[in-house]
């Protein structure tokens, strides 16, 4: 199964982007051994439409073109389901075991994801009720995917509750 982090907003050179890329690189070593083809970062530029609704609609239309047919879509949303790292790892393992070809994590722009687009996703995932900067969300998500892979591999990186 291929994992993709698809986000709105340019991936500029920043400490957050460097951190995100570092976790993606680290994850690659575990991914293939565990039956995951890859972890990829993709992004689209934020819309320049005049209103938030128009921006979200434009971004949703462009995001859709980047999502492979049949992909399992997971929208990042503060109203989504929260999971412990162990639960997240088990869930990724379950998705992999269902022989899905693609799982795409979708991070919206400054205005969020258009409601219809967000609600069409198979899942919504939250990192709590707070609003996080999008660059930081990408890094947090990449770290949690890396952590999930280490949990599935039995690697000591994750020192969860005993």
In a domain, residue 161? The reply is: no
Residue pair 123/74 in contact by the 8 Å Cβ criterion: yes
In the three-class reduction of DSSP (H, G, I as helix; E, B as strand; rest coil), residue 46 is classed as coil
Residue pair 100/69 in contact by the 8 Å Cβ criterion: no
In the three-class reduction of DSSP (H, G, I as helix; E, B as strand; rest coil), residue 65 is classed as coil
Reply yes or no on whether the pLDDT at 160 is more than 70.
no
In a domain, residue 158? The reply is: no
In a domain, residue 160? The reply is: no
CATH number of the structural domain spanning residue 92: 3.40.1280.10
In a domain, residue 123? The reply is: yes
- pLDDT confidence bin for 7, thresholds 50/70/90: very high
**C-alpha span between 160 and 129 (Å, rounded):** 22
Reply yes or no on whether the pLDDT at 134 is more than 80.
yes
In a domain, residue 41? The reply is: yes
Task: Put residue 35 in one of left, alpha, beta given phi > 0 → left and psi -120 to 50 → alpha.
Answer: left
Between 119-128, 133-142, 153-162, the lowest mean confidence (pLDDT) is in: 153-162
Whole-angstrom Cα Rg for the chain:
15
In a domain, residue 162? The reply is: no
Reply yes or no on whether the pLDDT at 162 is more than 60.
no
In a domain, residue 110? The reply is: yes
pTM of the model: 0.94
In a domain, residue 36? The reply is: yes
User: Total domain count for the chain?
Assistant: 1
């Amino acid at each position: 199964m291929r994992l993709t982090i698809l986000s709105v907003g340019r991936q500029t050179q920043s400490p957050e982007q460097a951190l995100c890329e570092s976790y993606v690189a680290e994850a690659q070593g575990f991914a293939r051994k565990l039956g995951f083809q890859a972890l990829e970062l993709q992004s689209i530029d934020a819309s320049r439409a005049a209103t938030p609704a128009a921006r979200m609609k434009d971004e949703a239309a462009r995001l859709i073109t980047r999502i492979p047919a049949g992909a399992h879509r997971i929208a990042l949303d503060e109203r989504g389901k929260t999971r412990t790292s162990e639960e997240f790892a088990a869930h990724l393992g379950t998705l992999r075991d269902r022989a899905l070809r693609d799982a795409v994590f979708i991070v919206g722009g400054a205005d969020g994801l258009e409601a219809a687009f967000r609600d069409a996703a198979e899942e919504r995932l939250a990192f709590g009720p707070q609003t996080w900067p999008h660059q930081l969300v990408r890094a947090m998500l990449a770290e949690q995917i890396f952590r999930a892979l280490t949990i599935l591999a039995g690697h000591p990186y994750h020192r969860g509750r005993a």
